[in-house]
Amino acid sequence: MNDLETLHDAWGTPEAPSGTAHAQARAALLARATSDGDHGHRSARRRLRPPRVRVRLLAVGASALAIAAGVTLVGNVGGTDVNGRPRPIISGLPTGPVANAAEALERAAVAAETRPFTAPRADQWIYTEDRITWSAGPRRRAVSRGWRRADGSQWASIENGRLRIWTRERRAPSLPWDYTTMSALPTDPGALLRWAYQQSGGPGEAEASEVYNLFNTILRNGGALPPRLEAAIFRAMKQIPGVTLVDGTVSVSGRPTLALGRVQDGWLYEQVLLDRQTYAYRGERSVVLTDHNPKDPSLEKGTVVLGVRIAAAIVDEPGQRR
């Protein structure tokens, strides 16, 4: 027996995971897979504007509110929101087209900073609704709805038409998942970037990719992000090498949208979508640049996965949408 075998055998066979741990881990995974109500470097989902702006949402605040405001603005610049209230014009935002990703991100940061915001209470829930579309593959369209409690202790999703609530029994995961964790992140762009690089380092992946994905994830999860954090994310993103502006505009639900992002691992262009007028975060898009897996049509060159946030709101109970 060599030393490696000795080392192996000396510890004996590890005890099987407890049924509870197993069930909980599987449920957590399925919850994420079916609702994507969690965080994730998922190509589809993120925050966006509610089509019908929710009064409550606006009243309660949240960056969801910011989005709501942004969205309404687009359709109604300088006019009133759906509730008939006058809308503020975003001050400090130049109106001309942006020349590059850094410029777009800076405007997004300024826009984020100027949004009104009221933090959710720990016992409130952040609801997000996203529409995901695929340009190829067996599944073309999905809507996901998820609720995350602000303190991160629970989340909820719709499964088979029924609301299911999951309890996170242990401490928060290592990546920012809930409002409480996110609101504790640095709001200085440099400090935030350093933090992100510390967190990154996924095995075998370039750090910049990880950092970009991490920011993407936070934006996606942040149905309610503190404005200073959101601004810091945009400004930190400017400093990630390889972040480029996509030429022209993307039409998202018929509205002009800017896309900027990073080509990850040489084949997947992961983009953040920003409203062309308000610079509010509108979602995410992934474009497959080269055939990656000959056996999987979802990875065919040209495949586009689009995730648009339809709604984001702070609510008192899971299951509530406004």
Partner 1 sequence: MVRLGAVTHTTPDTDAALIGRSWQEPERFAAVFDRYYAAIHGYVSRRLGRSLADDVAQETFLIAFDRRKRYDVARSDARPWLYGIASNLISRHRRAEVRQYRAMARAGLVQAVDGHAERVVGRLDAEALRGRLAAALAAVADGDRDVLLLVAWAQLSCEEAAQALGIPAGTARSRLHRARTRTRAALGGADPRSDGEGAER
Which lies closer to partner 1 via its Cβ, residue 151 or residue 210? 210
86-125 positions binding partner 1, by CB under 8 A: none
Strand ranges, E, within the chain:
125-134, 141-149, 154-159, 162-167, 243-245, 250-252, 255-264, 268-275, 281-288, 304-315
Q: How far is the CB of 183 from partner 1 (least distance, A)?
A: 21
CB–CB of 155/147 below 8 Å? yes
289 in Cβ contact with 301 (< 8 Å) = yes
Q: How far is the CB of 262 from partner 1 (least distance, A)?
A: 12
C-alpha angle 128/281/50, rounded to 5°? 45
Residue 213 CB, nearest approach to partner 1 (Å): 8
41 is a contact residue toward partner 1 (CB under 8 A): yes
Q: φ, ψ for residue 90 (rounded to 5)? A: -70, 115
As beta bridge partners, residue 275 has 257
DSSP states of 186-224 as a string?
A: --SHHHHHHHHHHH---TTS-HHHHHHHHHHHHHHH-SS
How far is it, in rounded angstroms, from Cα 200 to Cα 214? 8
Residues of this chain, 231-260, that bind partner 1 according to CB under 8 A: none
Please state the closest distance from residue 191 (CB atom) to partner 1, in A.
19
Among 117, 125, 127, 134, the residue binding partner 1 under the rule CB under 8 A is 134
Candidates 91, 95, 160, 174; binder of partner 1 (CB under 8 A) is 174
Give the shortest CB-307-to-partner 1 separation in angstroms: 12
Q: Does 139 bind partner 1 (CB under 8 A)?
A: yes
Query: Does residue 157 belong to the site contacting partner 1 (CB under 8 A)?
Result: no
Q: Which is nearer to partner 1, 14 or 92 (CB)?
A: 14
Is residue 114 within 8 Å of residue 138, measured between CB atoms?
Answer: no
Q: Does 293 bind partner 1 (CB under 8 A)?
A: yes
Told to check if 130 binds partner 1 by CB under 8 A, we report no
The residues that touch partner 1, with contacts defined as CB under 8 A, are 2-8, 10-11, 13-18, 21-22, 24-26, 28-30, 32-34, 36, 38-43, 134, 137-139, 170-171, 173-175, 201-205, 209, 213, 217, 264-265, 268, 286, 292-293, 295-299, 305
